[in-house]
Amino acid sequence: MKKLLQFFLPSIIVSFLCFSLVFASNVFPVSLNDWADDEVIESGWADALEDKIGVDSSAVATSLDYLIKNTSSKLGKIASLAVTDGNFIVADGTNWVAESGATARTSLGLGSSDAVTFGTLDTGQGANELYDMDQDVLTTTTPTFVDAIFSSLTASELVATTSAKALQSLSVGTYPSLTEISYVKGVTSAIQTQFTGKASTTLNNLGTTAINASLLLAGDATYDIGSSTVGINDIHFGLGGIINFDGSDVTLTHSANTLTLDGGTLALGANQLTGTASIQAGAYAAASVDGDDIASGIAGRSLTLTAASPDTLDADVELYRDTKCYRIETPVATDDDKSIWFAKGAFTLTSIWAESDQTVTFMLQVDDGTVADVDSVDLAPAAGTAEDTALNGDATMAAGDRLDLDLVSVSGTPTWVSICWTGTWDD
């Protein structure tokens, strides 16, 4: 028996040591090994190290690769967030997220607005360090505020205190604006005192000024309005206004559409009385106007001086004739131009004339809301001129009618066409 133990005991011990080494190599060490140079790391220990580190993009939740890189890991999620200026890392109840601006302020309990509101102010004064924000701030030194913003005030308006000593804006609808206040910049004494000291009896640089009393000069027949070198512009009189000379010696009185001279004679001397209206019949006694008193050269044109008694000036009924032209460069058949001319008064077309370097066929049309040809036969100048003096269409234009051009066709390649029309009107 003793010999048997002596024979088997060494084998048992060696087997136990080997089992211990194998078993120990499969357990990740709880402390670092002090590996010496050229030592071989045991395969079991290396396998455990690989398991602990994990492969690239490992899905093993306990591996270091998963913990650092996988976004399902808390640490991996933080590593994946954008490194952007102003971002805060906060928890959303499931994982970490990056937030900024109003979203971050909301998560931090500050509200979404840029104007952050605090319920209390921590002054750092021990037991009395918290104050409601609607209370006075107690301090032993003079406070200094930089860029204080009051949301209840209106920009660029004057500020005053209410009866409760709160700040309020003064509306420009009732109080001066900043621009109006700037007008008194530099004033060194009471404004009324300055006005009184600078008051003048001379009317200088006045705008439109309302005067509610008679304007009396200091003496009779002494002062002028304007001078021989400095005149005035218009004088405006109301209905029934009177220009009274020397206490009604001569008056010029206005009534509707009439000026009446009374108390004297209108002496023109060597000057003439001109006008465009008729001399009212019966305004002069018989033979008071004689042909010798009227400038020569007017009879026979627009006025006729009769030899009857009393002498009369009769306006002639006369016809006036005029010609208008219209030119088109490189005319084509689609050149139907509207309103090439407009009749200011009654006008009767008497002829149409045209010239071109090729054949251009056209007709003029009177447009009074309904378009009608001036003649029943189109005019067609062919490398020369053509004229139509027998207009049998709508050749009469009333005030406001338009003249249209109906270009029917062209032959060859004309480079220009000139179209003229002649007509008459009376006075």
DSSP assignment of 51-84 equals: HHH-STT---TTSHHHHHH-TTSHHHHHHHS---
What integer pLDDT is reported at residue 408 of this predicted model? Answer: 93
What integer pLDDT is reported at residue 210 of this predicted model? Answer: 77
* pLDDT range class, residue 389, cuts 50, 70, 90: very high
Mention every residue, 6+ apart, whose C-beta is less than 8 A from residue 210. none
Give tens-digit pLDDT for 345-360: 999 999 999 999 999 9
Mean pLDDT for the chain overall = 77
Q: What is the pTM of this model?
A: 0.32
Structure tokens at 354: 């045209």
The residue among 409, 408, 417 whose CA lies nearest residue 373 is: 408
DSSP assignment of 154-178 equals: PTTSEEEE-TTS-EEEE-TTTS--H
Give tens-digit pLDDT for 247-296: 889 999 999 988 898 988 888 788 877 776 665 655 555 545 555 555 44
Residue appearing with tokens 């808390």: 74
What integer pLDDT is reported at residue 209 of this predicted model? Answer: 73
Higher pLDDT, 150 or 365: 365
* pLDDT range class, residue 3, cuts 50, 70, 90: very low
What integer pLDDT is reported at residue 101 of this predicted model? Answer: 81
Lowest mean pLDDT among 11-20, 107-116, 181-190, 268-277: 11-20
CA dihedral 98, 103, 107, 110 (to 10 degrees): 130
Distance separating alpha carbons of residues 276 and 266, to the nearest angstrom: 19
What integer pLDDT is reported at residue 25 of this predicted model? Answer: 45
